[in-house]
Amino acid sequence: MMTIIEKSVLAMVILRVLSGSIEVSAGLLMLKLNNLEKAFYINTMLALVGPTVLIVTTAIALFGLADKIPVTRIVCLFTGITLIIISSHIK
């Protein structure tokens, strides 16, 4: 039997696969370049990809579940995401 995949789930899967592909490609590029400064720069760029994918995939899920989740829970989720992003940038 063929199952129907929800559009929200498919969008989340595509984003996560794309994100993983970017991570693997960046790792291979660092290995090929074999230069600490360039590897550090690539790693810094990756720091932007992770939180962005997290926010977008969570937003897709929340829009898909908006009628099923209470507003207070949505606020708590966005607060948690915000705290994760803030904590990742604190030195």
pLDDT confidence of residue 1: 62
Give dist(CA 19, CA 12) in Å, integer: 10
pLDDT tens profile 53-74: 988 998 898 888 888 888 898 8
pLDDT tens profile 13-41: 999 999 999 999 999 999 999 999 999 99
Cβ neighbours of residue 41 closer than 8 Å, sequence gap 6 or more? none
Beta-carbon-side half-sphere exposure of residue 43 (alpha carbons within 13 Å): 9
pLDDT confidence of residue 30: 97
Beta-carbon-side half-sphere exposure of residue 13 (alpha carbons within 13 Å): 6
Mean pLDDT for 66-84 is 86
